[in-house]
Amino acid sequence: MALAFVTGGSRGLGLATAKGLRLLGFDLVLFARNRELLSEVATSLNAKYEVVDLEDINQTRAVFTKALETYGTPEILMLAHGVMSEKMSKTLRTTDEEWNRVLNINLNSVFTILNSVGSKMAEARNGRIIIYSACLGRMSGPGNTGGLAPDRISKAGVNALVRNLAHETGLGTRGLLVDAICPNHSRTDMGGAEAPRSAEEGAATAIWLASREIKSGETKTGLLWEDNEVVEW
């Protein structure tokens, strides 16, 4: 069976994604910070797991380097972790601590994981990288200006990183697909109980991207997806 690494796999969208991939037959390695919760989820999904604090970039590189040595190179790299910034974190009011916390988790850890795991996937010329972004990070569409500065800017950085990496690796012509998704407002710890869609609905596009049929010369990649459709950055 194909191997998938899933970050944020202990709850929320990451957990919903992991469940969907498991149903498709993927072997899983889950990554999250809460050891007790992660162990419980991994047991229920018959998955392996690694504890990591993604705010700690040095630890992140060490954990994923070890994971590559232990489990091998995955066919699927699913980066579903993330945090929201504080509600009042406007650009001129955000503290250094809050800025660094959000940027490390939402963007810097993504670069570090891509730089370690993604490089091996590119060498293998076989794999799919799918990264959870957010509509807040778009430069077009509704709600794309003002407030939640660290979160908005970190997700815009993720979008740029995805586009850049996809072009650097040949837009799928060398066997590697790289895409971002907008899950929309979903019922998770972060999204709240009143969000309009379930975590499973929020994860559906990511699961589809992990399993979609690849057609030579026709498969689109290096894009931002929402509900299985391409949307503007």
> pTM here?
0.92
**How much is the average pLDDT of 74-82?**
97
**135: confidence class by pLDDT, cuts 50, 70, 90:** confident
Asked if 106 and 199 touch (Cβ cutoff 8 Å), the reply is no
Beta bridge partners of 224: 180, 231
115-129, 142-156, 204-218: the lowest-pLDDT one: 142-156
Q: Which amino acid is at 186?
A: S
* Euclidean distance between CA atoms 220 and 195, whole angstroms: 30
* Euclidean distance between CA atoms 153 and 170, whole angstroms: 26
H or E element at residue 221: none
pLDDT digits (tens, 9 = 90+) for 145-165: 667 788 889 999 999 999 999
* Tokens found for residue 139: 């430069």
pLDDT surpassing 80 at residue 102: yes
Domain ranges of the chain: 3-231
Superfamily of domain 3-231: NAD(P)-binding Rossmann-like Domain (3.40.50.720)
* Euclidean distance between CA atoms 163 and 171, whole angstroms: 9
